[in-house]
Each structure stands twice: as C-alpha cells, then as structure tokens.
Amino acid sequence: MLRLARVEVLDAMRMLTEVPDLDSGALVVLRAMDLVIGQGITTDLASFRATQIEKARILAPIVSTRIGTNLGFAIGAGGSVRG
C-alpha cells in the first residue's frame, strides 16, 4: 500500500509541475509526503513505518488546501449573451 501511495504522490507531483510556478505550496508538501512514505517503505521497524504513515496521513489534507493557490482565472470573460 505504501508503494501505491508513493506512485500517487509522484503522479500528483508530475501533474502539478507541468505548469511553472503553479501550486508551489502543494509541491512542497507532496515532496515531504514522498520522503516520509519512502522512509516507511525502506524501514524494517514496524513502529517507524506506522509513524511515517501517520505523518503522510497528516500531510494529505494540507496538500488539498494548497492546490490552486497560485491560480487565477476570470469568469465570464468569453462574451455576452443576448436575450
């Protein structure tokens, strides 16, 4: 499961880096998640693995709040509708 979680984190990082200067806050947290998940994968200690899983679980909702923080858009800039 940790390997699958890491694949998902790396995929999210890849997607977010396709646009320069977008979601830099989310990328920082995703890099931290990748680090703790990687440590959980490589350890032989179950207690350390559990700690790293908990750290990743704490970071996950933080990523969600930071996605789109550098994104700007205009609604209704496409034209007018006549009635």
At residue 57, the pLDDT reads 94
Residues in the chain: 83
Indicate the pLDDT class of residue 5, thresholds 50, 70 and 90: very high
Residue 83 reports pLDDT greater than 50? no
Residue 50 reports pLDDT greater than 80? yes
How far apart (Å, rounded) are the C-alpha atoms in residues 45 and 75? 52
User: pTM of the predicted model, to two decimals?
Assistant: 0.74
Q: Give the helix/strand (H/E) hosting 63.
A: helix 46-66
Residues contacting residue 29 through CB under 8 Å, at least 6 positions apart: 59, 62, 63, 66
